[in-house]
């Protein structure tokens, strides 16, 4: 009887151990309660060409009010209206319908189309509010609007400083007041690309990171900051006492 009980106990222990060692479970991102998968397909960097020289690049107009501070070049093409500098401070050059800004716009179109056309066997679909999520390197796609509202968004490169993140947004991107993007695990703003199908809006005192490539306009409300690049293809960029640092 004792021998039988011993074998039974050993069998129970083995079953418990085996249940915790399954190897066919999909890898998930344990930082997210929803279990966003960690992607196995790496994305190549999006080449910005001449557009990469600009902190701000717009199509129709650039308007700034208040103490905007931009580190990097400012470009406009084919529009001609650029106001607010001064009192805004530009640590860089203004390129209004110059050879550089015209080429930058052409290269922006190519970069936008590149990002929009990316595919992957393990692409992750996002929808609605992405506040509170942690994203690891790879390709993400939203089929409608996307917003960052109920929490902050973290990019975790898992120790790879060259890791690339591409977020395809079919329509608008909205970041509400005070929300921010956090970089973790050697993630770099210069390797985060937001391809926005319409326009992007950043609420007051929000802190965003990455290259924004919007088909239409980009609006920064009072005190919003960006580490990256704001690139608008067809419409304008509106600034209001913002800090923009090209990365």
Block residue for tokens 């391809």? 195
Digit-coded pLDDT (tens) for 86-139: 999 999 999 999 999 999 999 999 999 999 999 999 999 999 999 999 999 999
Mean local confidence (pLDDT), 51-77: 98
pLDDT in tens, 145-199: 999 999 999 999 999 999 999 999 999 999 999 999 999 999 999 999 999 999 9
Token pair in block for residue 158: 């898992």
Question: What mean pLDDT comes out for the span 8-18?
Answer: 41
Mean pLDDT, the chain, as a whole number? 89
Q: What percent of the chain has pLDDT over 90?
A: 85
- Up-side HSE of residue 88: CA atoms within 13 Å toward CB? 26
- pLDDT for res 225: 98
* 222 pLDDT above the threshold of 50: yes
CB-based contact 45:191 (threshold 8 Å): yes
Contact 218, 200 (CB under 8 A): yes
Given a cut of 60, whether residue 30 has pLDDT beyond it is no
């Amino acid at each position: 009887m004792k021998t039988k009980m011993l074998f039974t106990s050993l069998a129970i222990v083995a079953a418990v151990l085996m249940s915790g060692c399954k190897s066919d479970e999909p890898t998930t991102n344990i930082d997210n309660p929803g279990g966003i998968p960690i992607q196995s397909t790496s994305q190549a960097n999006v080449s910005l060409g001449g557009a990469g020289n600009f902190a701000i690049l717009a199509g129709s107009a650039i308007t700034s009010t208040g103490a905007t501070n931009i580190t990097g070049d400012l470009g406009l093409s084919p529009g001609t209206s650029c106001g607010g500098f001064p009192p805004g401070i530009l640590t860089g050059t203004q390129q209004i319908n110059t050879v550089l800004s015209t080429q930058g716009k052409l290269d922006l179109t190519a970069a936008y189309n590149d990002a929009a056309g990316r595919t992957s066997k393990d692409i992750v679909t996002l929808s609605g509010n992405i506040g509170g999520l942690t994203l690891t390197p790879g390709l993400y796609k939203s089929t409608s609007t996307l917003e960052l509202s109920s929490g902050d968004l973290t990019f975790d490169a898992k120790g790879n400083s060259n890791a690339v993140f591409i977020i395809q947004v079919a329509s608008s991107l909205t970041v509400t007041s005070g929300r921010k993007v956090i970089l973790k695990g050697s993630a770099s703003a210069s390797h985060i690309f937001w391809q926005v199908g319409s326009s992007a809006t950043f609420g007051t005192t929000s802190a965003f990171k990455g290259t924004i490539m919007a088909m239409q306009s980009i609006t920064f409300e009072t005190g919003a900051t960006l580490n990256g690049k704001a690139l608008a293809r067809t419409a304008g960029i509106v600034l209001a006492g913002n800090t923009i640092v090209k990365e």
